[in-house]
Amino acid sequence: MSKGQMVVGPDLTPDRLKKFENVLGEITRQLVQGLHSPGKGVSLEEGQIFAEHRNPFELVTSKVGEVQPKIEQPKGPTAVLQAVVDNIVARLTERFGQEIQVDQLPTEFTDESLAEWAKFNLKPVFLPGEDIGRRRKLKGWKKPESWFYDRVDDGKIKPIWEDLPPTMLRRGWYLADFTVSADYTDGTQVFVDDPLASIIKKLREEKKIGKHDNTPLDSRFAIIWYEWCNPLLTYIASAYRVTRAQVRLERAIEFNTIGNLYDTNRGKFNSWEWFQDQFEGSGRLYGGSRDDGGLSYVRCSWQTNRDAVIAGRPLVSFVR
């Protein structure tokens, strides 16, 4: 080869060099855009593609020649969702007296889905995997009374999962029902502006759930525990657009925790609410009456008891 002679390969033809120049210009423009507007411009993955002498702006071609669109990078939470996370982290850290981090938000949580769930008075809450045991010291926390802990100790309150004691929280994200309860008025009381009223009324008109003579058709009260589980929660899950497996009544320790952490209306009325927990063979827990101790009050009743003073509220779980 003589001095000054250039070797021209397939990557150094004028057309290839021109194409490279165009790509380099686009890379530069995208980098500047990324510096001014984080989340836009060139990503790290695209920069790596360029370093490997590939064009990150072309469509991705599979081995068999099938053209596929470039995969979009996952985006972080919106300002609305980030505010939810920040508020909950601060609240948990303050109440438990130690830093509490939350899990990644469920993919189902979007600005749009939260707005839809809010129509049912549902709000996102995070329950840490903490034990609210008898000896647990929690400042300003209104814990369940001794009866609850005594019945846990003697085995009469059964865990609904074998690996989770009745005093332990299952770590994860949930939707809690913040609908305001009501004081007992001879069985004619209803929850305030209850978004479940139309569902309950329809099921009563169809004779799928019962009532007392003076129970309003759309009232959450006077529904036995079994009717909550079937059919009521099935219809509620459909209205919420979640699976039936995600929806149940709150456990006693969840009712207590949500009341202490998130919902200041819990335990403020002289009515009770059913809980998910099983008591001995055929009993279920209920509680929450202001006159009996509010958030601290827990007792048991037959799961077939149609009591005009007992209501209930769904909990939606996103625990994987």
pTM, entire model: 0.77
The residue among 128, 127, 126, 130 whose CA lies nearest residue 167 is 130
- pLDDT tens per residue across all 320 residues of the chain: 444 444 444 445 556 555 556 656 666 676 666 556 655 665 655 555 555 555 555 444 444 455 555 555 456 789 999 999 999 999 999 999 999 999 999 999 999 999 999 999 999 999 999 999 999 999 999 999 999 999 999 999 999 999 999 999 999 999 999 999 999 999 999 999 999 999 999 999 999 999 999 999 999 999 999 999 999 999 999 999 999 999 999 999 999 999 999 999 999 999 999 999 999 989 999 999 999 999 999 999 999 999 999 999 999 999 98
**Cβ distance 266 to 313 under 8 Å?**
no
C-alpha closest to that of 251 among 274, 233, 276, 272: 276
Other Cβ atoms less than 10 A from the Cβ of 96: the count is: 16
| C-alpha span between 142 and 225 (Å, rounded) | 26
Helix residue ranges per DSSP H, the chain: 14-36, 44-51, 79-96, 111-118, 146-153, 197-205, 225-227, 233-240, 252-261
Percentage helix, strand, coil for the chain under 3-state DSSP, each rounded to 5: 35, 15, 50
Helices and strands, number each (H, E), in the chain: 9, 11
